[in-house]
Amino acid sequence: MKRLFLLIGLLLSLSPLFGQLLLTPVVDSIPMRDNKVMPVDIFLPGTTQAYPVIFIQTPYNRQLFRFGLPLGVGTALSTSHYVFVTMDWRCFYGAAGACVAQPKRGEDGYDAIEWIAQQPWCNGKIGTWGPSALGVIQYQTARENPPSLDCICPVVADPVTSYQTYYPGGCYREEYVDQLDALGFGTGPLVQAYPVDNVIWQFSETNSWYPQDIKVPAFMIGGWYDHNIDGMIKFMDGLKAQGDPLVRDKHKILVGPWAHGGHGTAAPGSGIQGEMSYVKEAPLANQEANRFFDYYLRGIQNGWDQDSAYRFTLTGMESFLPGNPLVYGENSYPGSLGKNPQKIYLQPDGTMKFNYPSASGPAWSSYQYDPRDPSPTHGGPTLRVDQLQGPYDQKDTVESRNDNLVFRTQFGNFGWACIAGKPKLRLYVQSNCKDTDFMVRLTQENADHPSMLLIDGAFRARFRDGFTAADTSVMDTSVVYPIDIDLPPIATTMWGDEHLRLIITSSNYPRFALNLNNGGPMYVAGDTLVATNKIYHSPTYSSYLEVSVSLAIGRGEELPPAFVRVYPNPTQGLVQIELDRPDEGTYRLLDLQGKLLLEGNYHGKGFDLDLSQQPAGLYLLSLSGRLGKTVEKIVKE
C-alpha cells in the first residue's frame, strides 16, 4: 500500500510533464461552519454558462481525478454536460489542515453543496457520485438534508455499520480490516476490541440505519462479487419500506457481475472480473448512472421513472429476457425469482439432491482442519491489495487439498436453472474440539470452469446460540449441533450441463482470521489444535442448502412444482398463473375425467384464468411451453 501511495505521489509530482493528458481544474476553497476551509478541484466543461454539478467527496486524494473523470468522461471534459467538483475528506490529503478530533463529514458535505449552489457555474442542480467510502459519505451527506441536493448515486456502498459487517457469522474479517487500516481509517483496534455483539455494536447499527432520513432519489449500483452487496440490498429494502413517502418510489438499484474494485481489473463497469469476462455488462454502470443524472439534473425524459426499482443481471439468460437482454427488472429482490425456496440435501455420495439423504449410506463425512495450514483465500469479495478479487476457480487451489468436503448438485436433466435470493445453509456438525469454524464456498461448475466461486460464508461454532457473550459456549464433542450459515445474495443461471458445488472447510485465510480450535479467547496467541470436523447427511440429521431454484426441463419432462405459482388456490373464480421465467406455449384445463374445458396460448411471465363458469371441484391445468411441461392442481370452491 505504501508503494501505491508513493506511485501516486510520483505521478502527481510529474503532472507538468503529462501536458494534455491531465485535466487542469479550478482550485478553490470552501468555508465550513467551523471556519475551517476545504480545498476543492472544479472541472468546468466551459466558461460561458451554468451547468448541473456532480459532487464527489474522497479520502483517496481529490487530485487523482485530474487523471480522468468518472462516468465515461475521462479527460474529454469539454464533452461533459456536468461540472465536476471533487473535495478531500476532512483530515485526508488536502484537507489535513482542517482536521478535528471527531469530523462530522455529513455536515461538511452539506456546507459544500450549499456553497456550490451559489456559484455562477452551477445552475442549481446538484447530484453526488462515488464508490465505496465515496458512496458511504453520500448517505451521510444526504442525511443532513442539504436543500440544494437533488440526488445521490452510491456505488458498492451502504451506510450501515454492524457487528456482522466485521464479524459475519462471528468470524473476524481480517484482510478487510487490514486494508481499511492501510488506507488510514484506523478501524482495526476498535473492531478487535469488541469480538462479540454488544451495546456498542447495537448503537453503531442503530445510528447508521437511517433510510427515513434520505429525502432525495438514490440510485445504488452494486456487484454480485462485492462484499457490500447484502447491506446494499437491505438498505434499498429499507428505503422502499421506511423512506420518506415523497421519494420512496423513486429509489432504484442496479446489481451487475462486478467486484468492489480498488485494485486490479475487477470493479463496477469493468469487463474483466477475476477469471470471468463480462464485456456486454461492462457499460451498464456508467450508462445507467448517466441516465439517472440526466433525468434528475438535466430534466431529460429518458424513461428512467418507468424502470423497475430493482434491476440485476442474470448471466446466461439473455435469450429469455424481454427488452434489455442483460438486465432483469423486479419491484423487489429477488422478486418472483425467489418465491419458491427449495432445500437441496447433502447426500452421502457427495451429491446434493431435492430428496432426503438415503439411510443406506454413511451418516456423516469428515475432514481435518489445521490452523497452521489453512485453506487459502482465492478470490472472492476481498479488499486487501495482495489478494485476488472477484470470481476465481477453486478447483486447484482449494478443492485439491485434503481439508475440505465437496458436494455437487444433481438436478437431473434440465434446460436451465435460475438460482436467486439469499441462500441459507443448515449444517449438522460435530467436532472433537471445543470450538471451530465452518467455512463454505458456493461455486459453479461448467465446461470451462470446474469450480468458479460465486459466494462464500463463515460461521464460528461457539456462536451457534447467538453472538453476544452470554450466548457463547464451547462444543460438547459428543453432540451433533445444527448451525445456520446465511450466504450473500445471488442471481445466476445454469444450463443443463452445469452444477452448483458446495465446498465446506474450516478456514478461508486471510479473508477470515483463524480459529485455534481450543475454545479459548479469540484472536490471541495460544495452543493450536487440529480439529476433526464432521458434516452429517442422514435422515435424522439432514444438512441442506436452501435457495430459490427454478428449473426448466427439456425433452418434455415435468417441471418441479416451484416453477409455476397458482393463486389464489383454492379460488372462487379468477386465478392467476405466474411463471418464474418468461415463456410461451399452450395451456389446457381438464377435469378429473380428462375432459377438456378450456385451452389457449400464453406468452410472458403469466396469465389469468377464469373459472367462474366451472362448478366447484378439482381441476388439472396442463402447461406446455418451450421450457418444458407441467401439470398443476386447482381447487374451485
Interhelix angle for 105-117 vs 133-143, to 10°?
80
Query: Per-residue confidence at 89, pLDDT binned at 50, 70, 90?
Result: very high
Helix, strand or coil, per DSSP, at residue 319: helix
Question: 447 or 180: which carries more pLDDT confidence?
Answer: 180
Would 409 be classed as within a structural domain?
A: yes
The CATH number of residue 508's host domain is 2.60.120.260
Say what the pLDDT of residue 325 is.
52
Q: How far apart are alpha carbons 317 and 324 in whole angstroms?
A: 11
Asked if residues 562 and 426 have their Cβ atoms less than 8 Å apart, the reply is no
Q: Is the pLDDT of residue 19 over 50?
A: no
Say what the pLDDT of residue 109 is.
98
Q: Which of 531, 550, 569 is the last residue of a domain?
A: 550
Summarised one tens digit per residue, pLDDT across range 235-256 is 999 999 999 999 999 999 999 9
Query: Per-residue confidence at 323, pLDDT binned at 50, 70, 90?
Result: very low
Q: How far apart are alpha carbons 185 and 181 in whole angstroms?
A: 5
Would 34 be classed as within a structural domain?
A: yes
Residue 528 shares a structural domain with residue 411: yes
Residue 576 shares a structural domain with residue 542: no
Asked if residues 128 and 144 have their Cβ atoms less than 8 Å apart, the reply is no
Summarised one tens digit per residue, pLDDT across range 181-208 is 999 999 999 999 999 999 999 999 999 9
Q: How far apart are alpha carbons 463 and 133 in whole angstroms?
A: 30
Query: By percentage, how much of the chain surpasses pLDDT 70?
Result: 91
Would 251 be classed as within a structural domain?
A: no
Say what the pLDDT of residue 631 is.
78
Q: Is the pLDDT of residue 111 over 50?
A: yes
Cα radius of gyration rounded to whole Å, the chain: 27
Query: Per-residue confidence at 319, pLDDT binned at 50, 70, 90?
Result: very low
Q: How far apart are alpha carbons 373 and 205 in whole angstroms?
A: 35
The CATH number of residue 563's host domain is 2.60.40.3080
Phi, then psi, of 171 in degrees rounded to 5: -105, 125
In 266-363, beta strands by DSSP E: 272-273, 276-277, 310-313, 327-330, 341-346, 351-353
Contacts of 96 by beta carbon, 8 Å cutoff, 6+ apart = none
* Lowest mean pLDDT, pick from 217-221, 317-321, 335-339: 317-321
Q: How far apart are alpha carbons 199 and 470 in whole angstroms?
A: 13
What is the rounded average pLDDT of the residues 71-96?
97
Question: C-alpha 327: how far from its chain's center?
Answer: 15
Residue 567 shares a structural domain with residue 631: yes
Cell digits of residue 17: 510533464
Calculate the average pLDDT of the chain: 90
Q: Is the pLDDT of residue 627 over 90?
A: no
Say what the pLDDT of residue 532 is.
98
Question: 17 or 192: which carries more pLDDT confidence?
Answer: 192
Query: Per-residue confidence at 21, pLDDT binned at 50, 70, 90?
Result: low
Say what the pLDDT of residue 552 is.
55
439 burial via Cβ count (<10 Å: 0-12, 13-18, 19+): buried
Residue 486 shares a structural domain with residue 618: no
Contacts of 620 by beta carbon, 8 Å cutoff, 6+ apart = 589, 590, 591, 592, 631, 632, 633, 634
Would 293 be classed as within a structural domain?
A: no
Would 261 be classed as within a structural domain?
A: no
Asked if residues 113 and 81 have their Cβ atoms less than 8 Å apart, the reply is no
Would 498 be classed as within a structural domain?
A: yes
Q: How far apart are alpha carbons 594 and 219 in whole angstroms?
A: 52
* Lowest mean pLDDT, pick from 309-313, 446-450, 504-508: 446-450
Say what the pLDDT of residue 515 is.
98
Q: Which of 96, 122, 155 is the last residue of a domain?
A: 155
* CA angle at 408 for the pair 405 and 413, rounded to the nearest 5°: 170
Is there a cis peptide before residue 570, judged by omega within 30 degrees of 0?
yes
Q: Is the pLDDT of residue 562 over 50?
A: no
Summarised one tens digit per residue, pLDDT across range 502-513 is 999 999 999 999
Residue 496 shares a structural domain with residue 588: no
Residue 530 shares a structural domain with residue 565: no
Q: Is the pLDDT of residue 226 over 50?
A: yes
Q: How far apart are alpha carbons 550 and 553 in whole angstroms?
A: 10
Question: C-alpha 365: how far from its chain's center?
Answer: 31
Query: Per-residue confidence at 635, pLDDT binned at 50, 70, 90?
Result: confident
Q: How far apart are alpha carbons 42 and 32 in whole angstroms?
A: 17
DSSP code per residue over 102-132 = S--HHHHHHHHHHHHHTSTTEEEEEEEEEET
Question: 174 or 14: which carries more pLDDT confidence?
Answer: 174
Helix, strand or coil, per DSSP, at residue 437: strand
Q: Is the pLDDT of residue 556 over 50?
A: no
Query: By percentage, how much of the chain surpasses pLDDT 90?
Result: 73
The model's pTM is 0.84
Say what the pLDDT of residue 351 is.
95
Contacts of 621 by beta carbon, 8 Å cutoff, 6+ apart = 566, 577, 587, 588, 589, 590, 609, 631, 632, 633, 634
Say what the pLDDT of residue 414 is.
61
Say what the pLDDT of residue 537 is.
98
Question: Any idea what DSSP says for residue 304?
Answer: G
Sign of CA dihedral 280, 282, 283, 289: positive
Question: 76 or 411: which carries more pLDDT confidence?
Answer: 76
Would 134 be classed as within a structural domain?
A: yes
Say what the pLDDT of residue 130 is.
98
The CATH number of residue 29's host domain is 3.40.50.1820
Say what the pLDDT of residue 180 is.
95
Q: How far apart are alpha carbons 221 and 255 in whole angstroms?
A: 6
Say what the pLDDT of residue 448 is.
85
Residue 385 shares a structural domain with residue 504: yes
Q: How far apart are alpha carbons 252 and 301 in whole angstroms?
A: 17
Q: Is the pLDDT of residue 1 over 50?
A: no
Say what the pLDDT of residue 551 is.
64
Q: Is the pLDDT of residue 406 over 80?
A: yes
Residue 475, domain extent: 341-550
* Lowest mean pLDDT, pick from 17-21, 279-283, 447-451: 17-21
Say what the pLDDT of residue 622 is.
84
Query: Per-residue confidence at 501, pLDDT binned at 50, 70, 90?
Result: very high
Would 37 be classed as within a structural domain?
A: yes
What is the rounded average pLDDT of the residues 414-443?
92
Say what the pLDDT of residue 557 is.
35
Residue 520 shares a structural domain with residue 567: no
Q: How far apart are alpha carbons 160 and 139 in whole angstroms?
A: 10
Residue 514 shares a structural domain with residue 591: no
Summarised one tens digit per residue, pLDDT across range 361-402 is 999 999 999 999 999 999 999 999 999 999 999 999 999 999
- What is the total count of domains within the chain? 3
Q: Which of 495, 517, 550 is the last residue of a domain?
A: 550
Residue 134 shares a structural domain with residue 50: yes
Q: How far apart are alpha carbons 519 and 303 in whole angstroms?
A: 57
Which H helix or E strand runs over 192?
helix 188-192
Q: Count, in order, helices (H) and strands (E) of the chain.
A: 10, 29
Contacts of 448 by beta carbon, 8 Å cutoff, 6+ apart = none
Sign of CA dihedral 376, 382, 388, 393: positive
Residue 466 shares a structural domain with residue 611: no
Query: Per-residue confidence at 263, pLDDT binned at 50, 70, 90?
Result: confident
Out of 20-24, 453-457, 586-590, the most confident range is 453-457
Q: How far apart are alpha carbons 551 and 625 in whole angstroms?
A: 13
Is there a cis peptide before residue 357, judged by omega within 30 degrees of 0?
no
What is the rounded average pLDDT of the residues 467-483?
97
Count of C-beta atoms within a 10 Å radius of residue 555: 10
Asked if residues 421 and 330 have their Cβ atoms less than 8 Å apart, the reply is no
Say what the pLDDT of residue 412 is.
63
Residue 544 shares a structural domain with residue 607: no
